[in-house]
Structure 1
């Protein structure tokens, strides 16, 4: 798995019961199709999952950990004119999250390479749908505009479960529906092989290292559909991927593995 990020312990202030973390009133509206936020190709962005949040990057979109940040941080970014994406894991269990004990052992698989994380048995939607719905409620209630669900390609990894491509399609579409029911736009994280089947279900894409692995052309269905592709590289200099990114209309930047505030955008 190529995802690179630093895991940040969850503050005790977060409760699974839909805590808003900053006192903002819960939003119970459901946005009809067509009224959700729809980022366009080439939209600049900032992705910060570690360190003290820097709200001063002059871009229209921020992607931050949805369970680590309070509603007040989202509101502050909104006041600065940003749209805000809620990062959370939907395909892996994390032992440092407030809801960790709510996951039965039967749905926990192999470790996914990151301390404290294990793949989930995405076939068990009877268990996972209410748990993921509760996490998405937190994103909604804090005022996020969209969600970035991570670990969405377990079927291509050694999870400990006999997951199929069909299992992954069903689960990814479930996550997209749950997000849309809450008025949230939703991005497809990596899972390049299933883009043709999933592009209509998701509002944008988030990708890591498609240039390093010569895969960026696989993201063009999103661009053709008028949907942004938020893309990062970690190891290549910008001179190696920015020209192609501009041609493909990707929203690309160079980041360090810890996904702190530092960025070097292609624009």
Structure 2
């Protein structure tokens, strides 16, 4: 989940000069269906939900279109040692480089062909697990890790890995979605991505960057605004599949739980 550092990401992004007309929604993807975003733990979705996103450690939702979340460009919490043992973590002066907003996640080193290949093999096993357990699609997070790399990674590095992972997902019968990185939507669609998962595109006024490329094959998650009380559901350009969730994505038994379908 990427909630912080979005302004910096946009400022540091390398422009991608790709002409891209809005694509028609991908066959089989339930564009516009009500969404639930359950990365904080799996639970029975509210009535009417048609699409559920869950972490790769959980199983898909029975009878619903299910998307499997994978952290493809940074380590998951608690997994540093395994990735570092294979030399796949980006280091600065021998110290693993952490995401400053998520200090228990460390950037994977996508700067070499060998490194990208080894990362793809490990993430590929995650893709296989998602497919074997019945997920319909995958969401690949932290495509924009290069903006947090202190100049040691590039957009081109991550696009190379993204293209490989999209091809592997396709071979497994999985649609593949980009996570955030609105300014790179055209390049990622060209690399084989089928849809987008966008956090706070209403708040950051960037929903059009996704829908211009993916049509209504965009899943938008909005969190309570830190200031102001504008209703994201009232935004005229929001994607059809927009949901309001609490920032920690907790389960219904937690007092902080928030779910509201737009």
TM-score, structure 2 length as denominator? Answer: 0.75
Q: Name the residue aligned to 1:168.
A: 158
**Quick check: 1:264 aligned with 2:246?**
no
CA–CA distance in 2 between the matches of 1:220 and 1:179?
22
CA RMSD of aligned residues (A): 2.6
CA contact (8 A) 2:83 2:89 kept: no
- The partner residue of 1:231 within 216, 220, 227 is 220
Q: Name the residue aligned to 1:184.
A: 174
Q: Name the residue aligned to 2:82.
A: 101
Q: For this pair of structures, how many residues does the alignment match? A: 223
- Closer/same/farther in 2, CA of residues 253 and 175 from structure 1, 3 Å limit: same
- Closer/same/farther in 2, CA of residues 264 and 56 from structure 1, 3 Å limit: closer
SS at match of 1:120: coil
Gapped runs of 5+ residues in structure 1?
5-33
CA–CA distance in 2 between the matches of 1:238 and 1:143?
39
CA contact (8 A) 1:65 1:86 kept: yes
**Quick check: 1:116 aligned with 2:104?**
yes
CA contact (8 A) 2:220 2:239 kept: no
- Closer/same/farther in 2, CA of residues 102 and 220 from structure 1, 3 Å limit: closer
- Closer/same/farther in 2, CA of residues 155 and 102 from structure 1, 3 Å limit: closer
- The partner residue of 1:87 within 69, 73, 78 is 69
Q: Name the residue aligned to 2:138.
A: 147
What is the Cα deviation at residue 209 of structure 1? Answer: 1.2
- Closer/same/farther in 2, CA of residues 144 and 197 from structure 1, 3 Å limit: same
SS at match of 1:232: strand
Give the 5 Å matches for 1:205-244. Answer: 205-224=196-215, 227-236=216-225, 239-244=230-235
Gapped runs of 5+ residues in structure 2?
5-24, 91-96, 252-257
TM-score, structure 1 length as denominator? Answer: 0.74
What is the Cα deviation at residue 190 of structure 1? Answer: 0.6
- Closer/same/farther in 2, CA of residues 238 and 188 from structure 1, 3 Å limit: farther
